[in-house]
């Protein structure tokens, strides 16, 4: 099926379930670009990017799907599942879309959502709304990893990394870059125009 036909089918399925058809079309566009063969690294498959566990047991009285690569069945399943999420969250599109992307369990647990999910919802709802209506709908806090400290409370100083440039007499055997010998290479710090290598491990 051509993309125009798939978009028309997506709109029809959305309207028959009381879903805003523009929102459902943008959802599918974001998920797969209307590519019925799309595959994600996490295992989502098909035009509606359905995960295998969700396909087998979606819950919420949604009929499972056997062939996720069937664009008609995939669009049907996606519309059914989004409709179920809208019912679960009282018509709140922000939460329903977040649940479609990250799972209802992640939405229900609170504490913020992955940045990817927030970006996903903002993309789909952007043309239809202003600021977020739900104060709970925020990016989950990512706490920086604590740096180690010595017993006296002073952090260890950076240690220069030893490296060597092998001496090669034959010009054809000269390597393109020096051989770095340390276990861990931290960062390159420029000091007065001279790059130094430091190990912060």
The span from the CA of 33 to the CA of 138, in Å, is 26
Collapsed DSSP state (helix, strand, coil) of residue 160: strand
- Is the CB of residue 84 less than 8 Å from the CB of residue 95? no
The secondary structure of residue 113, as a DSSP letter, is B
CA torsion sign for 34, 35, 39, 43 is: positive
Sheet of 187-191, strand order:
159-160, 194-199, 187-191
CA 122 to chain CA centroid, nearest Å: 13
Verify whether residue 31 is a known catalytic residue.
yes
Q: Which of 2, 7, 15, 31 is catalytic?
A: 31
Catalytic residue list: 31
């Amino acid at each position: 099926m051509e993309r125009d036909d798939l978009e028309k089918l997506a709109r029809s399925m959305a309207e028959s379930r009381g879903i805003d058809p523009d929102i459902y079309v943008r959802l599918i566009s974001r998920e797969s670009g209307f590519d019925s063969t799309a595959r994600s690294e996490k295992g989502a498959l098909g035009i509606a990017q359905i995960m295998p566990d969700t396909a087998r047991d979606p819950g919420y009285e949604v009929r499972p799907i056997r062939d996720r690569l069937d664009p008609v069945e995939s669009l049907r399943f996606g519309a059914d599942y989004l409709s179920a999420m809208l019912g679960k969250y009282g018509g709140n599109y922000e939460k329903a879309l977040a649940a479609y992307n990250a799972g209802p369990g992640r939405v229900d647990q609170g504490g913020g959502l992955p940045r990817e999910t927030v970006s996903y919802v903002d993309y789909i709802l952007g043309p239809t709304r202003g600021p977020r209506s739900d104060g709970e709908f925020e990016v989950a806090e990512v706490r920086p990893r604590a740096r180690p400290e010595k017993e006296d409370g002073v952090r260890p100083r950076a240690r220069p990394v030893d490296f060597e440039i092998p001496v090669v007499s034959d010009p054809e055997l000269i390597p393109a870059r020096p051989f770095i010998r340390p276990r861990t290479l931290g960062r390159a710090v420029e000091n007065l125009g001279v790059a130094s290598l430091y190990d912060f491990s």
